[in-house]
């Protein structure tokens, strides 16, 4: 009997020891995880910060992806994001010390000519999703192929002249609207161009204002096909629009901020490679970003946009003559009397081709 009691006591002690060891090990693991997390947080807090302005549109996707996946931290800096609805307010903020670098679209031209900002690189082709929409029951929608060079484009001089076009001045949307007009033998003086920010353009047109609207993605994908008809898209005319990294002049002169911004550019090209290798990853990233921004688009709309728009890899850019398309765009704005001719030289001087080419060479040799 005593022997049995002794065996039971030994067994009980062993179980207690095992439980105690397990509890101790579990506590140690938790403490180790907590310490690792604290170390990572401390390390991130000690990294140099880059304040990045970006938009709640397609070209803002990469910044969002980099932050969510910690690619900034992995590359030795931390992004502080500042979101805008379009490029025009980014330009207005250039002199306010609100950010160090901006990921922006066609509005960059007025940033570098009116505020002495500097463009240091290019990172996306966002040609798809730049469209002009008209009312489905309008006379414009009944005419197709007036210009034989553009057989799918709607409208002609008689139906379009005198109409009201809602658009965002100084952006790709204005470029889209005027390109449409020129294809019909018209110009800005032949219509009433009403300036609004991109979300308001869509909201106003959907509520009945205007005869036509130049819509950018994702707003063009919200258009109701029962009441609205697409008159044209930028790709109908063989035109392209890109997205750029632009720095305020004061930050460009700061060697550390410029170095960090060029490092960001290389990370963005790396993300471009991720998306090129896995197209579904890009679709998911864009779709997720639109959802976070409250942009009501369908997955099919995102897939359609990702067929025509993409993010550059370093390899994509190795033969690009940086500054050539930008000069064409600037001359277009001069013709439209939106940019003074004497600012062309300012534009050329504020596109840092040398920094772009050096950074590209470094990215290609890695």
| Tens-place pLDDT, residues 297-351 | 788 888 988 888 899 999 999 999 999 989 988 998 898 888 999 999 999 999 9
User: What residue spans define the domains of the chain?
Assistant: 47-126+241-365, 130-237
Of 213 and 87, the one with more pLDDT: 213
Please tell me the predicted confidence (pLDDT) of residue 221: 80
Look up the pTM and report it: 0.77
Fold matches, 47-126+241-365 and 130-237: yes
Predicted confidence band at 3 (pLDDT cuts at 50, 70, 90)? very low
Right CATH number for 130-237 from 3.40.190.10, 3.30.70.890, 3.40.50.1820, 3.60.15.10?
Answer: 3.40.190.10
Percentage of residues in the chain having pLDDT higher than 70: 88
Please tell me the predicted confidence (pLDDT) of residue 28: 57
Please tell me the predicted confidence (pLDDT) of residue 27: 56
**127, 309 Cβ separation under 8 angstroms:** yes
Place of tokens 């679209």: 105
Q: How far is CA 242 from the centre of its chain?
A: 10
Task: Report the pLDDT averaged over residues 178-195.
Answer: 95
Average per-residue pLDDT for the chain: 88
Q: How far is CA 158 from the centre of its chain?
A: 37
**pLDDT over 50 (residue 19):** no
**Among candidate residues 147, 180, 183, 152, the one with its CA nearest the CA of residue 165:** 180
Of 169 and 40, the one with more pLDDT: 169
Predicted confidence band at 5 (pLDDT cuts at 50, 70, 90)? very low
SS3 label, residue 228: strand
Q: Which fold has domain 47-126+241-365?
A: D-Maltodextrin-Binding Protein; domain 2 (3.40.190)
In 234-313, which ranges are continuous DSSP H helix?
Answer: 249-252, 255-277, 279-293, 299-308
| Tens-place pLDDT, residues 23-79 | 455 555 455 555 445 544 556 678 999 999 999 989 999 999 999 999 999 999 999
């Amino acid at each position: 009997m005593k022997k049995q009691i002794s065996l039971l006591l030994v067994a009980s002690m062993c179980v207690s020891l095992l439980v105690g060891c397990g509890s101790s090990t579990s506590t140690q693991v938790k403490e180790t995880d907590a310490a690792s997390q604290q170390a990572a947080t401390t390390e991130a807090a000690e990294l140099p910060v880059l304040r990045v302005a970006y938009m709640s549109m397609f070209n803002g996707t990469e910044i969002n992806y980099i932050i969510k996946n910690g690619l900034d931290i992995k590359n030795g800096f931390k992004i502080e994001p500042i979101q805008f609805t379009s490029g025009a307010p980014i330009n207005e903020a250039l002199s306010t010390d609100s950010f160090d670098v901006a990921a922006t679209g066609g509005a960059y031209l007025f940033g570098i000519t009116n505020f002495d900002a500097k463009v240091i690189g290019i990172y996306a082709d966002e040609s798809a999703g730049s469209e002009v929409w008209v009312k489905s029951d309008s006379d414009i929608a009944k005419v197709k192929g007036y210009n034989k060079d553009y057989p799918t484009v709607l409208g002609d001089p008689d139906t379009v002249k005198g109409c009201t076009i809602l658009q965002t001045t100084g952006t790709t949307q204005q470029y889209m609207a005027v390109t449409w007009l020129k294809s019909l033998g018209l110009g800005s003086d032949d219509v009433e161009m009403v300036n609004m920010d991109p979300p308001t353009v869509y909201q106003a047109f959907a509520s009945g204002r205007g005869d036509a609207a130049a819509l950018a993605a994702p707003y063009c994908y919200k258009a109701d096909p029962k009441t609205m008809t697409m008159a044209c898209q930028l790709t109908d005319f063989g035109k392209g629009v890109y997205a750029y990294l632009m720095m305020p002049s004061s930050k460009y002169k700061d060697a550390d901020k410029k170095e960090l911004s060029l490092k960001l550019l290389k990370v963005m090209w790396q993300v471009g490679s991720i998306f090129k290798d896995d197209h579904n990853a890009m679709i998911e990233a864009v779709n997720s970003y639109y959802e976070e921004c409250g942009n009501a688009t369908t997955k099919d709309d995102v897939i359609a946009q990702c067929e025509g728009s993409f993010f550059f890899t370093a390899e994509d850019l190795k033969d690009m003559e940086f500054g050539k398309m930008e000069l064409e765009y600037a001359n277009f704005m001069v013709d439209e009397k939106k940019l003074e001719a004497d600012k062309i030289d300012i534009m050329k001087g504020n596109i840092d081709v040398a920094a772009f080419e050096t950074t590209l060479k470094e990215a290609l040799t890695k």
